[in-house]
Amino acid sequence: MPLVSMRQLLDEAAKGGYGVGAFNVNDMEQIQAIMEAARETRSPVIIQASRGARQFAQDRYLYHLILAASELYPEIPIAMHQDHGNSFETCKSAIELGFTSVMMDGSLKADGKTPSSFEENVEVTRKVVDFAHERGITVEGEIGVLGGVEDGHGAGGSGLDHITDPDQAVEFAERTGVDALAIAIGTSHGAYKFNKKPDGSVLKMDVLIAIHKRLPNTHLVMHGSSSVPKDLQDIINQYGGKLKETWGVPVEEIQLGIRNGVRKVNVDTDNRLAITGAIRKVLWESPEKFDPRDYMKPAREAMQKVVALRMTQFGQAGHAGDYTPVSIADIAKGYKDGSLSTRPLVAAK
Ligand code: 13P
């Protein structure tokens, strides 16, 4: 099956009332792990690459690897997404390369570090939406600023520093016409999200629920959604690693988000932990080994296990065959003739 529009994938998720994991990739083994998990659970998938990943892998490699996945797994709808585009140029280059979806993260300036003004964010996001929709490509925007840093991108600090204001979220969605909206509710990128065991809610779910009430048809996106499971931390530390004690986002909170409009759930760190733990274990137990396949195979299997579990927990499992993909050209026509709306439904306060 050809690569599909993320807009179609998220519209279908909204109809079915489930969330879709968006998993970051840098190399072939990660793509293979996601695709095997998708086949195992019959899930549609979003495969995403950050700017750092595009640089690391040389993005034509990534593009062709994902195309290979679409040939080898014809039953799985795959959206190929640029994670955290920092500028119009980054998003344009992703679209020209063949990505079917881009995130314009205008919550930060183009340096990927300094929080921008609301007007700057609206302006650059709107510009990307105009360029992308003409070509049938989906756009995710961000309002509010996430905590932490991922691949050099991020304002740092706590996820609670710049929580999304629901009124601004409404104005942002109306003025930009984005297909999906990332919001800041206390999550942050990376392994070190919370330094004590969550007792009760760790995220601002009231803010998420307030935004969903005002924008009932807008696809919300949760970044920084790794759960940083203790068992994965333990494997790393058992085999010579030195992770400090840390806690991630409880899956139950993500599931509450999914019941309140979250359709895309970004996960990277959990997979990094699974891969690193598996590699450490092999090299620790068998220091004589030097064939990369001896540790890359268990690493790939460990990531597949995490991804399959998340696909089941987010509810996308079983939905791969629910719909036929609409071509990107027809999606472009839909944006043009208005059959694919870009005006959010706004409910009164
Ligand atoms: P994690 O670091 O929690 O996996 O978040 C990844 C992410 O949000 C990518 O954009």
Encode the chain (349 residues) as per-residue pLDDT tens digits: 889 999 999 999 999 999 999 999 999 999 999 999 999 999 999 999 999 999 999 999 999 999 999 999 999 999 999 999 999 999 999 999 999 999 999 999 999 888 899 999 999 999 999 999 999 999 999 998 777 766 667 777 766 668 899 999 999 999 999 999 999 998 889 999 888 877 767 789 999 999 999 999 999 999 999 999 999 999 999 999 999 999 999 999 999 999 999 999 999 999 999 999 999 999 999 999 999 999 999 999 999 999 999 999 999 999 999 999 999 999 999 999 999 999 999 998 8
pTM: 0.96
Of the CA atoms within 13 Å of residue 93, those in its CB half-sphere come to: 14
* Closest C-alpha among 116, 264, 255 to residue 179: 264
Measured CA distances, 307 to 10, 66, 154, 265, 317 (Å)? 18, 17, 24, 12, 11
* Closest C-alpha among 162, 113, 172 to residue 141: 172
From the CA of 86, how far away is ligand 1's center (Å)?
Answer: 16
pLDDT at residue 150 in the model: 66
From the CA of 22, how far away is ligand 1's center (Å)?
Answer: 9
Distance of alpha carbon 147 from alpha carbon 77, whole angstroms: 31
**Looking at ligand 1, which atom is closest to the CA of residue 272?**
4
**Looking at ligand 1, which atom is closest to the CA of residue 225?**
3
Q: Which two tokens stand for residue 198?
A: 């969550």
pLDDT at residue 159 in the model: 67
Question: Residues lining ligand 1, judged by CB closer than 6 Å?
Answer: 24, 83-84, 150, 189-190, 223-226, 266-269
**Number of Cβ atoms within 10 Å of the Cβ of 13:** 25
Runs of H (alpha helix) within 17-50: 28-41
Alpha-carbon torsion (90, 95, 97, 103), positive or negative: positive
pLDDT at residue 1 in the model: 82
**Looking at ligand 1, which atom is closest to the CA of residue 249?**
3
pLDDT at residue 133 in the model: 98
Pocket test for ligand 1, best of 108, 269, 273, 314 (most atoms within 8 A of CB): 269
* Closest C-alpha among 101, 100, 33, 102 to residue 73: 33
How many helices (H) and strands (E) would you count in the chain? Answer: 13, 8
Q: Are 67 and 97 in contact (CB under 8 A)?
A: no
Atom 9, ligand 1: residue with shortest CA distance:
266
pLDDT at residue 285 in the model: 98
- State the catalytic residues: 83
SS3 of residue 11 by DSSP: helix
From the CA of 268, how far away is ligand 1's center (Å)?
Answer: 5
Atom 5, ligand 1: residue with shortest CA distance:
224
**Looking at ligand 1, which atom is closest to the CA of residue 190?**
2
pLDDT at residue 145 in the model: 79
Pocket test for ligand 1, best of 82, 189, 246 (most atoms within 8 A of CB): 189
From the CA of 83, how far away is ligand 1's center (Å)?
Answer: 10
CA torsion angle 203 149 167 121 (round to 10):
-170
Atom 3, ligand 1: residue with shortest CA distance:
224
